[in-house]
Structure 1
Amino acid sequence: MTKLCANLTMLFTEHDFPERFAAASKAGFKGVEYLFPYAYEKDRLAALLHQHGLEQVLHNLPAGDWAGGERGIACLPERVGEFQEGVGTAIDYARALGCKQLNVLAGIAPAGVDQDTIRETFVGNLRFAAAELKRAGIRLLVEPINTFDIPGFYVNRTQQALDLIDEAGGDNLYLQYDIYHMQRMEGELAATLQKHLPRIAHVQLADNPGRHEPGTGEINYPFLFGHLDAIGYEGWIGCEYKPATTTDAGLGWTAAYL
């Protein structure tokens, strides 16, 4: 059965961030995700989750200077120490929030560095993070992201991500499959979801073009939701889209699923 969680980085932005938990609950969501929790005290976020009956489904490992344009540091050879420190921080937050899976953003491949070094750095960081998260009972997810929205993003296709996961070798390493990103990069959504279902721990959505809510673009979301149910996907689907107008005005499509 389709389980939707609200991405609080993208949705309910008419409210200050702490108020988005209440708005998500009022709209019928039972789970939330967002990019990063680190600007807020762990206890405050945990209290908001408890107050509004919400499950913390996912957040990302620290990803460098996001406001400055960085989109992850896991593939950057000179940032390994910072990455490893961030893993510990992420685990502390995940434990406090009851979050059982964390996503790693590879980042933009650095100019002037050979591909073997970039790959070795990323795989080494995956291996380190997966081992640390396993001790805490947490899954580590790897997300391919399209290179139209983020030019140069290192991990940008499904099979590439799976190959990197295989090389790192952790049994708590999974794929995060973002329908929007993979529609832009490779298509074949239904076939890819079915082929790799056992390795997919989390799905995210947005329509294309525009990265708005389902029903605004070319992706047949009623079909995909039915397909995910039919093939036995039991995880969450994160609503990581930019509302075409306001969040509330664009939530009509969720009526059949919340």
Structure 2
Amino acid sequence: MIRISANLGFLWNELPLADAIRKAREAGFDAVECHWPYGEDGDGVKAALDETGLPMLGLNTAKGQPGEFGLSALPGRQEEARATIDKAVDYATRTGARAVHVMAGITDAADAGVVFRENLVYACELAGRHHMTILIEPLNTRDVPGYFLTTLEQAADIIERVGRMELKIMFDCYHMQIMGGDLLARYRHHRDAIGHVQFAAVPSRAEPGDGEVAFEWLLPAIAAEGYEGFFGAEYKPSGQVEDGLDWMKAFRPA
């Protein structure tokens, strides 16, 4: 069975997070994930998760200042970057989240790779104490120009260099399609390094019912390759979320 997670960074994001979790349960999602929940009371979020029975899969480290989109690859910002990692792991621990996505940031500094890897080692050491996963996600250059981490192959190289079992790739099909396509073959090649899969229509990033990628075929094909995790629906709804959920029928028994 294909298990689907609602990314509450985009879905029902006008609601308090606890209420969005309840909406996800009512809509038939199997899990939830979020972006930056730090303004929300962690105890209330945990209570909503317990009430609905939905697991929280993960959250992001803070973006930093406007236009930075993360701090962990920015030279000279290590202290701030590690503070965002500390905060993310703490919030994840309080809410039972399974993973933290460490955001690299926008930089073209020559030593950005070294800085990012050092901060990832720090994150992995911290996550390891809590049996948690650290994720890194390549973002496409169209939506986030200048972001340090842009390709699956670059992410795989970073994981090999860091050499920590806690570190995995967030394989977002939307970004991966824009940055090279050939999704199943590339998933298959890097599957041992992939910790979570996300999806949205390409190029609109709206509901996954149209566009370049046939997710009703792709997601089962990825599962057939041995992926046992949830698939994160990280899309921007074109209207009311409830009005655009017909795509889920392809993944539910009749």
What TM-score do the two structures reach when normalised by structure 2? Answer: 0.95
**Distance (whole Å) between structure 1 residues aligned to residue 89 and residue 136 of structure 2:** 16
Q: Which runs of 5+ in 1 are unaligned?
A: none
Q: Counterpart in 1 of 2:229?
A: 235
> Equivalences for 1:204-223 in 2 at 5 Å?
204-223=198-217
Could you tell me how far 1:30 is from its partner in structure 2?
2.2
SS in 2 for 1:55: coil
- Counterpart residue type for residue 147 of structure 1: T
Give the length in aligned residue pairs: 252
User: Matches of residues 62-77 of structure 1 in structure 2 within 5 Å?
Assistant: 62-65=62-65, 68-77=66-75
Deviation at 1:151, TM superposition (A): 0.3
1:149 — aligned with what? 143
Aligned-partner residue type, residue 150 of structure 2: N
Match of residue 28 from structure 2: 28
Q: Name the structure 2 match of 1:99.
A: 97
Q: State how 1:119-138 maps to structure 2 within 5 Å.
A: 119-138=113-132
| Alpha-carbon shift at residue 14 of structure 1 (Å) | 5.1
Paired residue type of 1:39? G
Offset at residue 13 of structure 1 (A): 3.5
Q: Structure 1: how far apart are the matches of 2:206 and 2:40?
A: 27
Alignment of 1:32-181 (within 5 A): 32-65=32-65, 68-110=66-108, 113=109, 115=110, 117-181=111-175
TM-score by length of 1: 0.93
Q: Structure 1 stretches (4+) deviating beyond 6 angstroms?
A: none
Greater mean alpha carbon deviation, residues 211-220 or residues 8-17: 8-17
- Provide the identity percentage: 37
Distance 1:55 1:63, change over 3 A: same
TM alignment of 1:194-213, pairs within 5 A: 194-213=188-207
Q: Distance in 2 between matches of 1:77 and 1:13?
A: 32
Partner Cα separation in structure 1 for residue 212 and residue 203 of structure 2 = 7
Partner secondary structure for residue 77 of structure 2: helix
On the 8 A contact 2:170/2:194 being kept in 1, the answer is yes
DSSP-derived class of the 2:114 partner: helix
**Residue type of the alignment partner of 1:186:** G
Q: How does 1:183-198 map to 2 (within 5 A)?
A: 183-198=177-192
SS at 1:74's partner residue?
A: coil
What is the letter of the counterpart of residue 76 of structure 1? L
* Structure 2 residues without counterparts, runs of 5 or longer: none
TM-superposed CA distance for 1:169, in Å, is: 1.6
Residues 120-141 of structure 1 deviation map (CA, whole Å, 9 limit, x = unaligned): 1111111111111112211111
